[in-house]
């Protein structure tokens, strides 16, 4: 999925860079509304997880391999704007430090993997979520479908970019069949990983899942236990006294 230098011509790559900068600016503004004291640290953890997960490749077919994108997962956990920023930060580090994707193609990679996978994935999640029961199982199922669709959607955008400014000699239909076909298989792994992550977080801290807000009953922060045991005993004593006085009345 990472586009190397020279695969797309310079004019298209430059235009994609301008579009990517504009998209990042919009996401920065939108992320201010999504992030709070809870989700801001989680956004950093999401970026670290996506970075680590993208380093692992799994076999697909005909000797090809794929890796996790993480756009849909990031959007569901911290919101579409913050999720797009998290994945884009990962892509910038990969391009600058690990030479994973060309520097001239960085804008293309940010559009495909940072924006399309995240925003398209979240859009599918919202659509599927409306059709399913408002339960943890329904949310996980919607997340899996969204993650699966986000991968071929990103691949399709690459096909469009190649059709506009590709440096190769392959036809549009050849590139479309190869990219979307292979990434349809990669989407299965994307769906499984996303479903496992969302399910695990919903099981312990559902209040941290942005895409589940306002859906699950009793979705609130668990009260922290007092560090002073005497305070707890005093509180219990006060509660017992209150009940006793009410009984006397």
**Is 217 a residue whose pLDDT tops 50?**
yes
**Is 161 a residue whose pLDDT tops 80?**
yes
Q: What is the pTM of this model?
A: 0.81
The model's pLDDT over 103-159, given as tens digits with 9 standing for 90+, comes to: 999 999 999 999 999 999 999 999 999 999 889 999 999 999 999 999 999 999 999
- Higher pLDDT: 162 or 1? It is 162
Which pLDDT belongs to residue 114? 94
The model's pLDDT over 2-49, given as tens digits with 9 standing for 90+, comes to: 888 888 999 999 999 999 999 999 999 999 888 887 778 889 999 999
**Is 224 a residue whose pLDDT tops 60?**
no
Alpha-carbon span 94 to 92, nearest angstrom: 5
Which pLDDT band holds residue 237 (cuts at 50, 70, 90)? very low
Cα 29 to Cα 35, 84, 121, 242, distances in angstroms: 11, 12, 20, 50
Alpha-carbon span 167 to 222, nearest angstrom: 56
Which pLDDT band holds residue 238 (cuts at 50, 70, 90)? very low
**What average pLDDT does the segment 53-82 reach?**
81
Which pLDDT belongs to residue 229? 47
Alpha-carbon span 16 to 11, nearest angstrom: 9
| 209 Cβ contact list (under 8 Å, min separation 6) | 76, 77, 139, 198, 201, 202
**Is 63 a residue whose pLDDT tops 90?**
no
Helix (H) or strand (E) holding 93: helix 80-97
Mean pLDDT score across all residues of the chain: 84
User: Contact, 74 vs 86, CB < 8 A?
Assistant: yes
User: Contact, 156 vs 182, CB < 8 A?
Assistant: no
Q: Which two tokens stand for residue 22?
A: 């504009």
N residues, the chain: 249
Q: For residue 212, give the DSSP letter.
A: G
Alpha-carbon span 5 to 150, nearest angstrom: 24
């Amino acid at each position: 999925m990472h586009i190397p230098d020279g695969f797309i011509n310079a004019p298209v790559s430059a235009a994609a860079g301008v579009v990517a900068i504009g998209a990042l600016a919009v996401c920065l503004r939108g992320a201010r509304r999504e992030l709070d004291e809870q989700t801001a640290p989680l956004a950093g953890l999401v970026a670290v997880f996506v970075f680590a997960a993208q380093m692992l490749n799994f076999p697909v077919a005909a000797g090809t391999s794929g890796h996790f994108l993480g756009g849909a997962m990031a959007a569901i956990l911290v919101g579409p704007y913050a999720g797009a920023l998290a994945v884009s930060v990962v892509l910038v580090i990969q391009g600058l430090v690990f030479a994973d994707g060309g520097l001239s193609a960085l804008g293309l990679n940010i559009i495909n993997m940072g924006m399309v996978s995240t925003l398209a994935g979240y859009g599918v999640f919202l659509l599927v979520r409306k059709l399913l029961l408002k339960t943890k199982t329904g949310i996980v199922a919607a997340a899996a479908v969204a993650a699966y669709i986000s991968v071929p959607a990103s691949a399709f955008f690459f096909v469009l970019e190649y059709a506009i400014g590709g440096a190769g000699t392959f036809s549009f239909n050849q590139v479309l069949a190869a990219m979307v076909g292979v990434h349809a298989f990669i989407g299965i792994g994307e769906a499984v990983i996303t479903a496992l992550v969302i399910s695990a977080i919903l099981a312990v801290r559902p209040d941290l899942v942005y895409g589940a807000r306002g859906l699950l009953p009793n979705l609130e922060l668990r009260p922290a236990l007092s560090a002073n045991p005497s305070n707890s005993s005093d509180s219990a004593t006060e509660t017992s006294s209150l009940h006793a006085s009410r009984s006397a009345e």
